[in-house]
A and B are shown apart, each in its own frame.
Chain A
């Protein structure tokens, strides 16, 4: 495969010493994986045997901000199917089997298809994209994702003119997941078709240059960086194109608290807490939250003329 290289290397593209050290440490840990597992060490080590994602295309859609350490990205997760404490998914998600895996794409498309993992990996060259992630709970991270634009997958199934929305359904496997009715399972999310086709909207298969750990939504998840984190559905098994706005799990659970759009917006508070500021994981002081999580230049035009207080 021919990899196009940028003419010159920007400082943001150089692996930071912290990241380099973190990976070295991770590899060292992985080497001692058997011993650590025997001692009940972190289950993320299971992911250390993950396949290499190969050479990654550098993406212009990257922010030049310090990365959140890998251990925080992989041990502080909201993945309620594996427990509602943020430490739970890293402990429990290893029970999920992510290979073989298929994603069924159906609904208002010309060529409905079921993709297996190999086909998904071949849809487009894998890119590394460093995105901000802003959780609705007012904390944030900076994560180096590996993935490809969702638009590549959608183009492959040829959406019909009548398709206006895209629904995403996550895996729900009661054998390995927490079955308490905290949300209406399976987890469902949705985007407008133009949002789904936006070049920033990513299907992620990895982070920090390696396959996604299960707790981060392996093997394939959505990443929509200008929306609150819960919009970025994990471990996707079905994608459905529809003409009506789909129901989404959090919107169903709290219609007044979690809107369908859920664009990051410092001016529209969650009814129970302020969204004006956020705590970047690793920072002591909070920072101001940016409209559309700092991606306003790229995405605000999609919402021109809309009342963002009403369509929160």
Chain B
């Protein structure tokens, strides 16, 4: 009787490549559900009295939600040790951009119907649209540089510096929501609190890291900067 290799312990901390691939497919399908529900409601005439407003709000909500989910990847990974979460981050980031494009497209096509004069005036005169527009424009370079080739071309450090702008974009996104509501800031407040936690954790960890390094200086100056680069190339 030949000995069979002992089955690998099914650890959630280290998933097999097959499992990660399956997970990616699952996340991809889940991420399309909000769009699917919106299309279903459209075809069943269930978008309510003001369908354009419903579509605008739904796509805007999902842009912010995906942005917060994307920003939750790093803290979650740190807290749980599930390093494979990082492998989902690019897809989640691109879905943020996907819903942002739908949101912006809804505004241009359905809401303003290519009334460019009105669009320009809105962007210039309405602060909530100004910050929303800025957030959208700033997302574009992040989406463009999301490919492996672009990461290599930019180099890890520069790529990372560029992609840190997502923190500012998230703040702009929440401000955009906060400034457009008439009186009930409850919903934007929830987004703001979640974002505060996600950014606060990063600031906290960064401070901890700084203190640790001050207590025990690294052997060389280069060692310190190298140690902070996180491999971001997904497989």
Chain A residues packing against B (C-beta within 8 Å): 68, 71-72, 75-76, 80, 84, 86-87, 137, 139, 180, 182-183, 250, 253-254, 269, 272-274, 277, 279, 281-282, 284-286
Which B46-94 residues sit within 8 Å CB-CB of chain A? 48-50, 52-53
**Residue in B122, B179, B180, B183 whose beta carbon sits within 8 Å of that of A253 in the complex:** B183
Provide the bound-state CA to CA distance between A273 and B122, in Å: 7
- Once the chains bind, are A84 and B122 in contact (CB under 8 Å)? no
A-B CB contact pairs (8 Å), 23 listed: A68-B49, A71-B49, A72-B49, A75-B48, A75-B49, A76-B49, A76-B50, A80-B183, A80-B184, A86-B48, A86-B49, A86-B50, A87-B48, A139-B50, A180-B184, A182-B183, A254-B182, A254-B183, A272-B127, A277-B118, A279-B50, A284-B110, A286-B113
* Distance from B175 Cβ to chain A, minimum over Cβ atoms (Å): 13
- Once the chains bind, are B126 and A137 in contact (CB under 8 Å)? no
- Once the chains bind, are A272 and B50 in contact (CB under 8 Å)? no
* Distance from B123 Cβ to chain A, minimum over Cβ atoms (Å): 12
Which partner residue on chain B sits nearest A77 by CB separation?
Answer: B49
* Distance from A118 Cβ to chain B, minimum over Cβ atoms (Å): 33
Q: Which of A71, A80, A272, A277: most chain B CB closer than 10 A? A: A272
Which partner residue on chain B sits nearest A269 by CB separation?
Answer: B125
- Once the chains bind, are B52 and A279 in contact (CB under 8 Å)? yes
Size band of the B side of the interface? 20 to 34
Provide the bound-state CA to CA distance between A89 and B50, in Å: 16
Which B159-204 residues sit within 8 Å CB-CB of chain A? 179-180, 182-184, 186
- Once the chains bind, are B128 and A272 in contact (CB under 8 Å)? yes
Does B232 interact with chain A (Cβ within 8 Å)? Answer: no
Taken residue by residue from 26 to 64, chain B's Cβ proximity to chain A (1 for < 8 Å, 0 otherwise) reads as 000000000000000000000011101100000000000
Interface majority SS on B: helix, strand, loop or mixed? helix
Provide the bound-state CA to CA distance between A84 and B184, in Å: 7
* Distance from A255 Cβ to chain B, minimum over Cβ atoms (Å): 13
**Residue in B113, B125, B186 whose beta carbon sits within 8 Å of that of A285 in the complex:** B113
Which B111-159 residues sit within 8 Å CB-CB of chain A? 113, 118, 121-122, 125-128
- Once the chains bind, are A272 and B179 in contact (CB under 8 Å)? yes
A-B pairs with lowest CB-CB distance, top 10: A76-B49, A72-B49, A84-B184, A182-B184, A182-B183, A281-B49, A253-B183, A272-B126, A183-B183, A285-B113
Provide the bound-state CA to CA distance between A68 and B50, in Å: 12
Which residues of chain A come closer than 8 Å to B48, judged between CB atoms? Answer: 75-76, 86-87
* Distance from A102 Cβ to chain B, minimum over Cβ atoms (Å): 29
* Distance from B21 Cβ to chain A, minimum over Cβ atoms (Å): 40
Provide the bound-state CA to CA distance between A279 and B51, in Å: 11
**Residue in A72, A180, A254, A273 whose beta carbon sits within 8 Å of that of B186 in the complex:** A180
Provide the bound-state CA to CA distance between A285 and B113, in Å: 7
Which partner residue on chain B sits nearest A286 by CB separation?
Answer: B113
Q: Which of A80, A182, A285: most chain B CB closer than 10 A? A: A182
Which residues of chain B come closer than 8 Å to A68, judged between CB atoms? Answer: 49
Which residues of chain A come closer than 8 Å to B127, judged between CB atoms? Answer: 272
A281-B50 CB under 8 A given contacts A80-B183, A84-B183, A272-B180:
yes
* Distance from B130 Cβ to chain A, minimum over Cβ atoms (Å): 11
Provide the bound-state CA to CA distance between A285 and B52, in Å: 10
* Distance from A22 Cβ to chain B, minimum over Cβ atoms (Å): 14
Provide the bound-state CA to CA distance between A122 and B128, in Å: 49
Provide the bound-state CA to CA distance between A42 and B186, in Å: 26
Which residues of chain B come closer than 8 Å to A250, judged between CB atoms? Answer: 183
Which residues of chain B come closer than 8 Å to A279, judged between CB atoms? Answer: 50, 52
Which residues of chain B come closer than 8 Å to A282, judged between CB atoms? Answer: 49
